[in-house]
Amino acid sequence: MFRRRRPLMRAAVAGGGAYVAGKRVARRSAAQGQQENEQDERLATLEERALAWHEQGALTDDEFATAKARLLGG
């Protein structure tokens, strides 16, 4: 009787381990996606501020282009 239970138990343990590993990967993926969204929001806010300063005349065309390139990583 024990011979039949061990393969089933091994399969259950392996399946449980895979389940836990999958959940861990999903959690990390979700956290990384959230960080990327927050970074995108911050970038959009900074770009809007630079545009507002440009429209108000606080930034020249060259300064605005430089600020925009810096924000976009170029």
What integer pLDDT is reported at residue 3 of this predicted model?
56
- In whole angstroms, give the CA distance from residue 34 to residue 8: 39
Mean pLDDT for the stretch of residues 50-71: 86
The pTM (predicted TM-score) of the whole model is 0.52
Domain borders along the chain are 6-71
Q: Is 60 helix (H, G, I), strand (E, B) or coil?
A: coil
